[in-house]
Amino acid sequence: MQIVFNGESVQLTTPCNLLELLERKLSDTHASLENVVVAVNQDFVHRHNYQSFNVSDGDMIEMLSAVVGG
């Protein structure tokens, strides 16, 4: 399955839900799930729906996190 995650093409070998995908991606960063918002195909997905939202072939997923500082 091919998706686009934050502008980069990603090949997924197994189906997953949005929560599983985000946990994989967040393990590569220092962000936490509580500090990000996610849009799939330009529609925001509420955090409570991450587990029930299945990622589909061709999805464009954007994960945004707040940056604090000055």
The string of pLDDT tens digits covering residues 12-70 is: 999 999 999 999 998 877 778 888 999 999 999 999 999 999 999 999 999 998 777 76
Q: Are 61 and 55 in contact (CB under 8 A)?
A: yes
Q: Return the pLDDT at 70.
A: 62
Q: Are 63 and 22 in contact (CB under 8 A)?
A: yes
Distance between CA atoms of residues 59 and 45, nearest Å: 13
- For the beta carbon of residue 22, count every other beta carbon within 10 angstroms: 22
Residues in the chain: 70
**Domain-wise residue ranges, the chain:** 2-65
Q: Return the pLDDT at 65.
A: 83
Q: Return the pLDDT at 12.
A: 96
The β-bridge partners of 45 are 38
Q: Give the pair of three-digit tokens for residue 47.
A: 């955090």
> Which CATH architecture is the domain 2-65 placed in?
Roll (3.10)
